[in-house]
C-alpha cells in the first residue's frame, strides 16, 4: 500500500513528511487481493484524486470544523475542499486557544478520511472472528439486527439482554443519539462509567463541589507551574504554548512524573517520583508550608472549611523526611519546591489523568488540591488545581433523551461497569446478555482484561460494531456498519479543558455507504417499527442540521454570546464566564466553601480529610515490575496510529526499560520482550533508556494496524478508589499493573 506519488502537505512536520515520502505502508499490513476487494477494504486507486489531498490550487472552498476526539485541545479547524475532495486541514486561528497550529494527528486527517482500509459498506462475518466477511446492504443489516432485538425481547420478556458499549470516539454533541437509540428500545444493559478520569472527578467534587479548571489561556499569567503526571508536549500542545509564554516572562516549570516525558525534558526541574506516591509528596510540601507559615491564612479563613483538622493531621502524621522516603524525592528538593510554590502568585497545578489511575488515585488528587488551596492558588486566574471541566456542556441532549416504548419491563437500565465490562457480561444473568452494540469505542483495545473481553464477545449471539476503522473490536463482530468522518456531517463540539465552541460543517459528501450514528438510529427504528409497530420510540428520519439546532437553548446562546447556532458559521466562540474556575470563591459544596474536610467523602466511604493512602503493592513475588501504559504522541487511545501515515512514521511499539533492569534479565536493545502476568501477555521490542525508573517498564497505548499488540492484555480490572459518585462506577487502576519480563 505505497504512498506512490502522493504529495504531503507542507504544513506537516518535516521529519514526518520526509519519512513518509521515502517509506511505504505497512509492516504487518494486509496485502491487496481478492479478499480485500470482496470485503470493501480494498486499496485506493493511486490515480484517484483523493490520493493527492495536498493540492489546493484552483477553486477551493473553505469550511469550518473541529477535531471531535477525546483530547484536551478540541482544535478548531479550517478544511479546504476542491472538486469534492478534502485537500488540506489546518488550524483556525479565530480560536485563540487553537491558534495557528495543530498536532501531528490533526495534520493527518486528510489521509484518515481517505484511508484505504476504511470500512466502506455494511459487512457480515460468519463465523465470528473468522475473517470470512461478505458485503450486505443496509436493509439486510437493519433487518438482521431488528429481528434479533425483537427475538431477544420475546424470549426473555425484556430488553435487558441487549447491551450498549459506547464512549468517546466522537464528541460531536448529537452523537449521544447512540444512547438515545438504546433507550428508545426499552431498559437495556447499559455500559456506564469512564476509564479516563472518574477518580479525579469525585476527588475534586469532594473538595470544590465539582471540577472546573481555570481558563488554560490564562496559564500565560502564571508565575509557577507544577505539571503533575501530564505530558502536554504530546497531549495538549496548545496549552504548552501558553505555558511557554509564561516562562518567557520568568515563570518556572516543574514536572513531576515517573517517566521523563517530552514535557519533563523541557522542565526547569524534573522530579522522577515513585509511581502512585504523589499524595505523599503533596503532603510533605504542605507540612513544610504549614511549619514555615507560608500558607494563605486570609484565603483559608474566609473561603475554606476543615483546614485546622487538615493541619492537625499534617502535624501528627507527616514530615518532609517521611515524604522523601516514600517518594524517592530528596528532602532539599521537596523543601525548595514547597517554598517556591507558596511564594509564587499565581502558581498553577495541572493534574494529569494518568495521575489518578491508581487504587489511591482519587485520594492523591485530594492531596494536591489541598496544596493548591492552602496557598490561596485554588481560585486565582492562572493558578488552580486544574483537572478538567464540564461548564460548557449545557446542551439539550435532544438526540439522547428518548422515552422507552409502552409496556417496557423494568424501571431503569442495568448498570454494566465499563471498567469491568468483560466479566460483567459473562456474569450477567436473569436475563443473560446476548447482544452488543458498540459505537465510538474500541473495546478490544481499550478495556482492561482484554482476554476476558474476548471471551465475553464470543459468548454473545449478535455483536454489532459501528465504526470508521476496522478495529480489533470490529474483527470480533457479526455485523460492522460504516460510519462517517466528522467532515461528512454537521455538528458542534466543545471542550472539557478550554472554553470554546466550534461548529463542524459538512465539508464533503459521505464516502461509500457510510452513515452517521444518527442516520443509523433512524434506519433501525424504521425497520423495528415496520416489523412491530411501537417497538421503538426513536424518530425514523430527519434533517441533520435541524437536529444540530435542537441541541441549543437559551443558556448556551447566552454563554457563548450567540442568538442561534448558525452564528457559529462565522467562526468559533468563547464562553463568557464572569468568574471562571471558581475565581469568585463560591463553591457548590455543602458549605459553599472549599472543603479540606468533606462530610460527603466520608459518607461515600472515603477519608474525610486529604490524608495519605498507601499505593497498591505487587500481589506476587513473580510479578514485581510495574508496567505503565501512558498516552502516545501518534495516537489517541486506539485512534490515528493505525493510519498509513502514522504507521510509516511509527511502525511498531517499543518497551522502554532501564539499562539496569534490562541487564538483570539479559535483555539488549532491540530484543523482543515478553511482558506477562496471571491475566495475559504482550510481546514488545525493547528500547533501553533511562527515561523510566529502574523498577518500571513503559509502553504507549496504541492500536497498530493488523497487530496483536495490546497493553491491556495484562491490565486487570482493579478499581480506583473513587469515581462512582459522579460517573456511576469507579475508575480503573490502569497503572497498578505488575508483571514479569523475560526475553522472548
pLDDT for the residue 486: 95
Q: Is there a contact between 742 and 665 (Cβ–Cβ < 8 Å)?
A: yes
Mean pLDDT across the stretch 27-41? Answer: 29
Could you give the CA distance from residue 695 to residue 275 in angstroms, rounded to a whole number?
10
Q: Which of 41, 612, 659, 52 is nearest to 326 (CA)?
A: 612
pLDDT classification of 640: cutoffs 50, 70, 90: confident
Q: Is there a contact between 389 and 582 (Cβ–Cβ < 8 Å)?
A: no
CB environment 263-281: b (16+ within 10 A), e (fewer): bbebbeebbbbbbbbbbbb
Q: What is the pLDDT of residues 406-465, one digit of tens each?
A: 999 999 999 999 999 999 999 999 999 999 999 999 999 999 999 999 999 999 999 999
Q: Return the C-alpha torsion angle 594, 596, 599, 602, nearest 10.
A: 140
Task: Give Cα separations from 216 to 65, 94, 384, 498, 628 (angstroms).
Answer: 21, 16, 10, 6, 27
pLDDT classification of 20: cutoffs 50, 70, 90: very low
**Is the per-residue pLDDT at 586 higher than 80?**
yes
Mean pLDDT across the stretch 729-742? Answer: 97
Share of the chain above pLDDT 90, in %: 87
Give 573 or 17, the one with higher predicted confidence: 573
**Is the per-residue pLDDT at 131 higher than 50?**
yes
Query: What is the tally of helices (H) and strands (E) in the chain?
Result: 25, 27
pLDDT for the residue 287: 98
Q: At what angle do helices 278-291 and 331-343 cross, to 10 degrees?
A: 70
Q: Is there a contact between 191 and 433 (Cβ–Cβ < 8 Å)?
A: no
**Is the per-residue pLDDT at 668 higher than 80?**
yes
List the domain boundaries for the chain. 14-113, 123-195+398-487+511-559, 198-387, 625-743
Could you give the CA distance from residue 114 to residue 133 in angstroms, rounded to a whole number?
21
Mean pLDDT across the stretch 153-162? Answer: 98
For domain 625-743, the CATH architecture is Beta Barrel (2.40)
Residue 543: Cβ within 10 Å count: 9
Q: Is there a contact between 167 and 69 (Cβ–Cβ < 8 Å)?
A: no
Mean pLDDT across the stretch 180-189? Answer: 97
**Is the per-residue pLDDT at 35 higher than 70?**
no
**DSSP letter (8 states) at residue 403:** P
Mean pLDDT across the stretch 350-360? Answer: 96
Share the mean pLDDT of the chain. Answer: 91
**Is the per-residue pLDDT at 37 higher than 50?**
no
pLDDT for the residue 619: 85
pLDDT for the residue 57: 62
Could you give the CA distance from residue 214 to residue 386 in angstroms, rounded to a whole number?
7
pLDDT for the residue 8: 27
For domain 14-113, the CATH architecture is Single Sheet (2.20)
**Is the per-residue pLDDT at 102 higher than 60?**
yes
pLDDT for the residue 427: 97
Q: Is there a contact between 215 and 208 (Cβ–Cβ < 8 Å)?
A: no
Q: How far is CA 351 from the centre of its chain?
A: 15
**Is the per-residue pLDDT at 402 higher than 80?**
yes
pLDDT classification of 56: cutoffs 50, 70, 90: low
Q: What is the pLDDT of residues 317-339, one digit of tens each?
A: 999 999 999 999 999 999 999 99
Q: Is 320 helix (H, G, I), strand (E, B) or coil?
A: helix
Q: What is the pLDDT of residues 523-553, one digit of tens each?
A: 999 999 999 999 999 999 999 999 999 999 9
Q: What is the pLDDT of residues 703-722, one digit of tens each?
A: 999 899 999 999 999 999 99
pLDDT for the residue 636: 87
**Is the per-residue pLDDT at 634 higher than 70?**
yes
Q: How far is CA 168 from the centre of its chain?
A: 7
**Is the per-residue pLDDT at 88 higher than 80?**
yes
Q: Is there a contact between 187 and 162 (Cβ–Cβ < 8 Å)?
A: no
Run of H or E including 489: none
Asked whether the whole model's pTM tops 0.85, one would answer yes
Could you give the CA distance from residue 102 to residue 237 in angstroms, rounded to a whole number?
8
CATH number of 198-387: 3.40.228.10
**Is the per-residue pLDDT at 22 higher than 60?**
no
Q: Is there a contact between 204 and 384 (Cβ–Cβ < 8 Å)?
A: no
For domain 123-195+398-487+511-559, the CATH architecture is 3-Layer(aba) Sandwich (3.40)
Q: Is there a contact between 166 and 178 (Cβ–Cβ < 8 Å)?
A: yes
**Is the per-residue pLDDT at 561 higher than 80?**
yes
Lowest mean pLDDT among 44-58, 465-479, 668-682: 44-58
**Is the per-residue pLDDT at 582 higher than 80?**
yes
Q: At what angle do helices 307-317 and 361-374 cross, to 10 degrees?
A: 110
Mean pLDDT across the stretch 205-225? Answer: 96
Q: Which of 606, 209, 624, 158 is nearest to 379 (CA)?
A: 209
Residue 715: Cβ within 10 Å count: 27
Could you give the CA distance from residue 61 to residue 225 in angstroms, rounded to a whole number?
42
pLDDT for the residue 54: 53
Amino acid at each position: 500500500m505505497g504512498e506512490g506519488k502522493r504529495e504531503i502537505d507542507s504544513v506537516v512536520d518535516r521529519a514526518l513528511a520526509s519519512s513518509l515520502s521515502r517509506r511505504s505502508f505497512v509492516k504487518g499490513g494486509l496485502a491487496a487481493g481478492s479478499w480485500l476487494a470482496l470485503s470493501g477494504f480494498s486499496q485506493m486507486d493511486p490515480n484517484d484524486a483523493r490520493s493527492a489531498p495536498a493540492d489546493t490550487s484552483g477553486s477551493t472552498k473553505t469550511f469550518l470544523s473541529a477535531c471531535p476526539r477525546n483530547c484536551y485541545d478540541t482544535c478548531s479547524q479550517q478544511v479546504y475542499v476542491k472538486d469534492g475532495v478534502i485537500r488540506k486541514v489546518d488550524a483556525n486561528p479565530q480560536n485563540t486557544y487553537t491558534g495557528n497550529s495543530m498536532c501531528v494527528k490533526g495534520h493527518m486527517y486528510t489521509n484518515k478520511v481517505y484511508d484505504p482500509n476504511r470500512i466502506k459498506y455494511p459487512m457480515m462475518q460468519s463465523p465470528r472472528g473468522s475473517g470470512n466477511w461478505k458485503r450486505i446492504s443496509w436493509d439486510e443489516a437493519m433487518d438482521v439486527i431488528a429481528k434479533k432485538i425483537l427475538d431477544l425481547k420475546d424470549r426473555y420478556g425484556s430488553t435487558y439482554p441487549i447491551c450498549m458499549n459506547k464512549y468517546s470516539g466522537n464528541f460531536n454533541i448529537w452523537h449521544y443519539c447512540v444512547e438515545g437509540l438504546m433507550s428508545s428500545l426499552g431498559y437495556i444493559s447499559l455500559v456506564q462509567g469512564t476509564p479516563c478520569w472518574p477518580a479525579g472527578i469525585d476527588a475534586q467534587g469532594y473538595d470544590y463541589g465539582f471540577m472546573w479548571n481555570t481558563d488554560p489561556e490564562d496559564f500565560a499569567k502564571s508565575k509557577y507551574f507544577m505539571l503533575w503526571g501530564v505530558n502536554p508536549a504530546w497531549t495538549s500542545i496548545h496549552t504548552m504554548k501558553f505555558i511557554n509564554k509564561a516562562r518567557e516572562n520568568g515563570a518556572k516549570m516543574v514536572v513531576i512524573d515517573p517517566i521523563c516525558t517530552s514535557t519533563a525534558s523541557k522542565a526547569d526541574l524534573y522530579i522522577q517520583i515513585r509511581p502512585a506516591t504523589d499524595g505523599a509528596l503533596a503532603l510533605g510540601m504542605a507540612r513544610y508550608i504549614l511549619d514555615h507559615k507560608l500558607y494563605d491564612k486570609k484565603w483559608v479563613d474566609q473561603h475554606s472549611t476543615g483546614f485546622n483538622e487538615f493541619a492537625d493531621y499534617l502535624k501528627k502524621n507527616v514530615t518532609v523526611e517521611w515524604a522523601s522516603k516514600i517518594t524517592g524525592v530528596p528532602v532539599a528538593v521537596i523543601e525548595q519546591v514547597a517554598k517556591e510554590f507558596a511564594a509564587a502568585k499565581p502558581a498553577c497545578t495541572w493534574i494529569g489523568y494518568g495521575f489518578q489511575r491508581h487504587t489511591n488515585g482519587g485520594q492523591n488528587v485530594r492531596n494536591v488540591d489541598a496544596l493548591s488551596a492552602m496557598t490561596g492558588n485554588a481560585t486565582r486566574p492562572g493558578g488552580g488545581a486544574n483537572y478538567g471541566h464540564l461548564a460548557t456542556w449545557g446542551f439539550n441532549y435532544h438526540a439522547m433523551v428518548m422515552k422507552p416504548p409502552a409496556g417496557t419491563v423494568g424501571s431503569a437500565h442495568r448498570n454494566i461497569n465499563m471498567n469491568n465490562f468483560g466479566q460483567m457480561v459473562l456474569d450477567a444473568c436473569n436475563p443473560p446478555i446476548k447482544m452488543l452494540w458498540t459505537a465510538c469505542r474500541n473495546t478490544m483495545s481499550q478495556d482492561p482484561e482484554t482476554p476476558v473481553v474476548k471471551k465475553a464477545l464470543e459468548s454473545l449471539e449478535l455483536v454489532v460494531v459501528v465504526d470508521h476503522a476496522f478495529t480489533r473490536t470490529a474483527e470480533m463482530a457479526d455485523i460492522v456498519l460504516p460510519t462517517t468522518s466528522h467532515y461528512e456531517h454537521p455538528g458542534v463540539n466543545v471542550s472539557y479543558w478550554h472554553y470554546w465552541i466550534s461548529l463542524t460543517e459538512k465539508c464533503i459528501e459521505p464516502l461509500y455507504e457510510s452513515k452517521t450514528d444518527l442516520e443509523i438510529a433512524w434506519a433501525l427504528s424504521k425497520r423495528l417499527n415496520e416489523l412491530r409497530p411501537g417497538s421503538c420510540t426513536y424518530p425514523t428520519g430527519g434533517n441533520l442540521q435541524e437536529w444540530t439546532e435542537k441541541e441549543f437553548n437559551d443558556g448556551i446562546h447566552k454563554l457563548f454570546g450567540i442568538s442561534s447556532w448558525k452564528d457559529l458559521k462565522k467562526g468559533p466562540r468563547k464562553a463568557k464566564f464572569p468568574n471562571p474556575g471558581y475565581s469568585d470563591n463560591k463553591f457548590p459544596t455543602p458549605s459553599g466553601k472549599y472543603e479540606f474536610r468533606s462530610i460527603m467523602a466520608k459518607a461515600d466511604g472515603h477519608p474525610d480529610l486529604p490524608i495519605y493512602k498507601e499505593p497498591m503493592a505487587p500481589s506476587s513475588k513473580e510479578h514485581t515490575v510495574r508496567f505503565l501504559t501512558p498516552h502516545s504522541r501518534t495516537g489517541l487511545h486506539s485512534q490515528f496510529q493505525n493510519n498509513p501515515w502514522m504507521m510509516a512514521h511509527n511502525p511498531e511499539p517499543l518497551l522502554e526499560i532501564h539499562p539496569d533492569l534490562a541487564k538483570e534479565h539479559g535483555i539488549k536493545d532491540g530484543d523482543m520482550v515478553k511482558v506477562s502476568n496471571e491475566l495475559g501477555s504482550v510481546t514488545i521490542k525493547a528500547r533501553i533508556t533511562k527515561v523510566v525508573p529502574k523498577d518500571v517498564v513503559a509502553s504507549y497505548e496504541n492500536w497498530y494496524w493488523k497487530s496483536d499488540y495490546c497493553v491491556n492484555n495484562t491490565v486487570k480490572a482493579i478499581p480506583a478508589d473513587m469515581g462512582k459518585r459522579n460517573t456511576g462506577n469507579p475508575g480503573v487502576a490502569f497503572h497498578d499493573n505488575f508483571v514479569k519480563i523475560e526475553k522472548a
